[in-house]
Amino acid sequence: MNVNMLWEQNLKCEFCDAAFDDQDALKKHLRLHSRRKPYKCDDCGAKFSYNSTLEWHKKSHTGELPFKCDECREQFPQNSIT
């Protein structure tokens, strides 16, 4: 067994199977289980666990479409590769 693999992701979430390699990542993840949502949209009042989710949500108010398909050139509010 690779010792580095044992060292990585040694912090386990007590509520699910998620594992993390540092305390900050685990703490951020635990917001999902605590339902703590400290980030609030000034436009509509919606609350989010993560600032990055709030920033993505704000685009729904502005109509911003920053991602463009390389094939059809259509634009979208988020990047989604399937």
The whole-angstrom separation of Cα 14 and Cα 17 is: 8
pTM value > 0.75: no
Q: What is the CATH number of the domain that holds 25?
A: 3.30.160
| pLDDT tens series, the chain, 82 aa | 444 444 556 899 999 999 999 999 999 899 889 888 999 999 999 999 889 899 989 988 988 888 888 889 898 877 776 5
Instruction: Give the residue from 23, 25, 22, 48 showing the smallest Cα distance to 35.
Output: 48
Instruction: Quote the DSSP letter at residue 74.
Output: -
Q: Does one domain contain both 64 and 43?
A: yes
Q: Does one domain contain both 30 and 45?
A: no
**Is residue 53, in this structure, part of any structural domain at all?**
yes
Q: What is the pLDDT of residue 34?
A: 87
